[in-house]
Amino acid sequence: MKKQLTREMLEEYKSKREKLDMYEELRATAELAETSDTVQMSSQTVPYAKHVIAIRGYAARGGQRIASIIERLQKECEKTEILIDEIEDSVICELIHCQYVEGLNKKDAATIVGYSPKQAKRKLDAYFDSPE
């Protein structure tokens, strides 16, 4: 079996998840950001007096750009999640899932699989350091 998942990929995944969360939060606040402006115009009939009209609405600040970044990050994260799910050793799969996907610390992840933190570290080290 050819191993495809590396520690570096998991660190990248963690970083991308943080960026994804940041952009999703940014999109949510951008969608709610109210904006207003004023324009001057003249009436369509005589005496053509100038007056100011207030315009209010919601700003779409970079909405398409943010959406495309979110979509790209989701696809990249999904690729790594598929690799995690394909790990044959269920303990290693669960440890990695808990630490990187769910964001638990190493001690809590080890407890979930019934290992001590030291045992879990040795198990992961053996997985990542073993030749393909």
pLDDT at 50: 80
DSSP line for 49-88? -EEEEEEEEE--TTHHHHHHHHHHHHHHHHHHHHHHHT-S
pTM greater than 0.75 (yes/no): no
The reported pLDDT for the residue numbered 63 is 73
At residue 1, the 3 state secondary structure works out as: coil
Is residue 81 a contact partner of residue 12, using CB atoms and an 8 Å limit? no
How far apart (Å, rounded) are the C-alpha atoms in residues 120 and 108?
Answer: 11
What pLDDT was estimated at residue 45?
76
Q: Is the peptide bond before 131 cis (omega within 30 degrees of 0)?
A: no
Q: pLDDT means per 10 residues in the chain (132 residues)?
A: 79 95 85 71 76 70 80 95 93 94 93 95 91 66
